[in-house]
Structure 1
Amino acid sequence: MVQTRPPSASSGTQVPAQAVSTWSGPAREQAVQRMFTAIAGVYDLNNTLLSFGLHYRWKKITASLVPPVEQGTALDVGAGTADLALLVEPRMGTNGRVVASDLNHAMLAEGLKKVDLKGRTGRIACLQANAEHLGFTDNTFDAVTTGFCMRNVGNLPQAVGEIRRVMKPGGTFVCLEFSRPVFGWLRALYDWYSFKLLPWVGTKVARDTTGVYEYLPASIRTFPDQERLCQVLREAGFRQVSYQNLTGGIVAIHVAVK
């Protein structure tokens, strides 16, 4: 059951991407939530089209880095439509449990449909929660994952600190996020794709009027690169921090231990 309340703000207002990428606090959060509410129904399809299907591979690799735990508990922060939560669930053993948390009601509702369809309702709970105020007790989860979430939080150090707080000692945090391509030619190509092609496809194909496909590349540009994110994790108290690049650094998976 999705334990959420529908957002009260209108979802039809277009918000300039530049403003969203520089705002902080409640204004930014509300604008981002309006965007994701508007595209929730086509989010999976658009992800597949715009990543050329690569997001499935990226998520499978991310889940494979979660250590198997018998009767384990895992939390997927910013779970969206629950792709990653469904992949992590088998890693938690026979009687394991996964909480798929997201701030956005509409995205979680789409995720719940998948969970029900795959017969995992008893093992995956969908819960509305803010990454910066998770609401769980200390030392609850064996593993925490995030997929394309952390660049959307208002206060990254606070969210990372919350994630560490709710993890058990020795637990593993696995973070999949867009990052900085390692080759100059790939960065140039990716910038063209992100700032020119992506917004055009989002507007013409997805019929988006919220500005989300302008916001997304802007949020990637302002998010810490691979090494800087390692530093954020270390400053939060994580150890054994490492990362691996996928698709030339277009995305990176960071792994850290509490």
Structure 2
Amino acid sequence: MTMPRTTGSPGNRVAREVFADLPPRYDRLSWLLSFGQDRRWRRAVVARIAGGQPRRVLDVATGPAGVALAVARRTGATVVGVDLNEPMLQRGRRTVEAAGRTGEVVLVAGRAEQLPFDDECFDAVCFSYLLRYVDAPAEALVEMTRCLRPGGTMASLEFFVPPAAGWRAAWRLYVSAVLPVAGWMAGGSAWWRVGRFLSRSIPAHYRQYPLDWHVRAWEQAGLRDVGWRLMSRGGGLVMWGTKEAAP
């Protein structure tokens, strides 16, 4: 195992700063933003990972370890969760301990762009709500694929912008007006700031990196059979692919 070579990028610093005050109630924020759908989205990712019957799984941007725990419960695999936000990791460690899974889920600090692992050492890789917080999403995909064994599965969950005009208009109203206010009422000024940030960052990301870009980036990283599914009228995006075998 090698250690990260640098401390972070501007995108990484945004992730640290925006979510610094939220770990104890992070799951509630995901529930608010997704109208309570995030658990169903996560189950879709876990199902993709579980289909390959992995024994060792990497969960990048693990946050408070919700997906890592779900994968461990579903598969019995050893799961290594990585996040650059230390307060999130501390919360995750307490959650893992409370769930009695300290022998199956291990949490370490690290960056998606410079993962502290050897090549091809995981049977599956998953990540959630990550690509808006790295400066070079394609490079992060390449780095995560590096850690995946040939034939292994990668799956991800991200927020998305609904493609249908009516749902998109309702979504924009919600994230720009309702979400910041709801965040402030639920958790004060820190949540208001996060609500405002998300209302700008999600559409900005897909203006720069539309869905077809994501598919091509996965393929160029070395993944085949890349598929995707829009969740909850397009509020969420689940993607998956299989690492190509070496020639």
Displacement of 1:48 in angstroms is 2.3
The residue identity in structure 2 corresponding to 1:118 is A
- Say whether 1:227 aligns with 2:212: yes
Question: Are 1:66 and 1:91, in contact at CA under 8 Å, matched by a contact in 2?
Answer: no
> Equivalent of 1:105, from 63, 86, 96?
86
Residue 239 of structure 2 corresponds to which residue in structure 1?
254
1:80-119 alignment, distance < 5 Å: 80-93=63-76, 96-119=77-100
Structure 1 unaligned residues grouped into runs of 5+: 1-6, 8-24
Give the 4+ runs in structure 1 shifted more than 4 A. 68-71
**In structure 1, distance between residues paired with 2:50 and 2:190:** 41
The residue identity in structure 2 corresponding to 1:219 is S
Residue 3 of structure 2 corresponds to which residue in structure 1?
none
The residue identity in structure 2 corresponding to 1:214 is R
Deviations, residues 160-200 of structure 1 (Å, cap 9, x unaligned): 01010000001110011112312110011001111111112
1:156-235 alignment, distance < 5 Å: 156-209=137-190, 211-223=193-205, 224-235=209-220
Question: Are 2:12 and 2:84, in contact at CA under 8 Å, matched by a contact in 1?
Answer: no
1:42-61 alignment, distance < 5 Å: 42-61=25-44
**In structure 2, distance between residues paired with 1:62 and 1:254:** 8
**In structure 1, distance between residues paired with 2:240 and 2:53:** 20
**In structure 2, distance between residues paired with 1:27 and 1:163:** 19
Displacement of 1:68 in angstroms is 4.2
Question: Are 1:73 and 1:92, in contact at CA under 8 Å, matched by a contact in 2?
Answer: no
**In structure 2, distance between residues paired with 1:165 and 1:28:** 21
**In structure 2, distance between residues paired with 1:180 and 1:228:** 15
Describe the SS at the equivalent of 2:152.
Answer: strand
Describe the SS at the equivalent of 1:138.
Answer: coil
**In structure 2, distance between residues paired with 1:156 and 1:76:** 16
Deviations, residues 133-152 of structure 1 (Å, cap 9, x unaligned): 00200001110011112222
Give the TM-score, by structure 1 length.
0.84
The residue identity in structure 2 corresponding to 1:186 is W
Question: Are 1:71 and 1:92, in contact at CA under 8 Å, matched by a contact in 2?
Answer: yes
Give me the CA root mean square deviation.
Answer: 1.9
Give the TM-score, by structure 2 length.
0.88
Displacement of 1:29 in angstroms is 2.3
- Say whether 1:241 aligns with 2:226: yes
Describe the SS at the equivalent of 1:53.
Answer: coil
Over 3 Å counting, the alpha-carbon distance change for 1:91 and 1:204 in structure 2 is closer
**In structure 2, distance between residues paired with 1:225 and 1:195:** 20
Percent of residue pairs bearing the same amino acid type: 31
Displacement of 1:97 in angstroms is 0.6
